[in-house]
């Protein structure tokens, strides 16, 4: 099931057991529960089970970044007298990821620039193009393709002094730099989940 979807209270699975006692006999009726601490209950903090139908519902929106799977113990119990029998089955509910997080750079280093992550690199002048400058790195707690981060220089590079590896965040020079001509460059780098942002 996908995380964060608006399915709270709707059925996401139905469990069913079969009793070989004759139909119509109380012994053949089955009730469904969760087993928690050796006690049969009809709900957990996150899930609810219908005692009669075996329908499973969520009680809250699930967040994969909080918990990516839930192990439930399902009980099917008959109404036998004088002894009721029950059987247990394990159900693993896997929470699928959605793209519900944006990539973020580490904690802000410059409190005077809200929303900006400031990092400084030093590079030698008069080096051939292709010199390594440094690497920026953002994180995205989503998994798989939703957690991939791509990097783009969005400003400060009008004359194409630099290039960035969009999958690694590694910055290189594209031209020979001369300190006497210019001693500082200010680049803005954007982190995005979109591989075709620019």
Run means of pLDDT, 10 residues per run, the chain, 198 residues: 66 88 73 95 95 94 84 91 87 80 70 67 90 91 82 92 94 92 90 80
Residue in the structure block whose two tokens are 């469904």: 32
Report the predicted TM-score, pTM, of the whole model to 2 decimal places: 0.58
- Verify that 148 and 174 share a domain, yes or no: yes
- Verify that 153 and 70 share a domain, yes or no: no
- What CATH code is carried by the domain that includes residue 82? 2.60.40.60
- Verify that 116 and 184 share a domain, yes or no: yes
- Verify that 87 and 150 share a domain, yes or no: no
Contact 151, 191 (CB under 8 A): yes
Handedness of CA 120, 126, 128, 129 (dihedral sign): positive
Q: What is the pLDDT of residue 22?
A: 63
Which range marks the domain in which residue 106 is found? 99-198
Q: What is the pLDDT of residue 157?
A: 92
What is the tens place of the pLDDT at every residue in 12-42? 899 999 887 666 666 778 999 999 999 999 9
**Pick from 68, 94, 120: which residue ends a domain?**
94
- Verify that 104 and 73 share a domain, yes or no: no
Dihedrals phi, psi of 144, to nearest 5 degrees: 55, -140
d(CA 67, CA 94): 9
Q: Which DSSP letter does residue 65 get?
A: T
The 10 Å Cβ neighbour count of residue 64 is 22
**114-130 residues labelled b (16+ CB within 10 A) or e (exposed):** eeebeeeeebeeeeeee
Q: Is residue 76 part of a domain?
A: yes
Give the total number of structural domains in the chain. Answer: 2
Q: What is the pLDDT of residue 7?
A: 67
């Amino acid at each position: 099931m996908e995380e964060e979807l608006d399915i709270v209270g709707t059925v996401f699975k139905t469990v069913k057991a079969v009793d070989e006692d004759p139909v119509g006999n109380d012994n053949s009726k089955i009730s469904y529960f969760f087993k928690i601490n050796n006690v049969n209950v009809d709900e957990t903090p996150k899930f609810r089970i219908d005692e009669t139908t075996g329908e499973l519902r969520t009680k809250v929106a699930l967040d994969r970044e909080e918990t990516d799977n839930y192990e439930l113990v399902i009980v099917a119990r008959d109404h036998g007298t004088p002894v009721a029998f029950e059987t247990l089955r394990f159900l693993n509910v896997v929470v699928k990821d959605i793209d519900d997080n944006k990539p973020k750079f580490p904690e802000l280093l410059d409190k005077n620039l809200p929303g900006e992550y400031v990092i400084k690199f030093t590079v030698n002048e008069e080096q051939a193009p292709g010199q390594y400058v440094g690497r920026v790195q953002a994180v995205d707690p989503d998994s798989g393709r939703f957690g991939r981060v791509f990097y783009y220089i969005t400003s400060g590079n009008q004359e194409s002094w630099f290039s960035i590896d969009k999958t690694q965040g590694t910055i290189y020079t594209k031209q020979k730099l001369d300190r006497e001509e210019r001693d500082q460059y200010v680049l803005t780098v954007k982190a995005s989940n979109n591989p075709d942002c620019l």
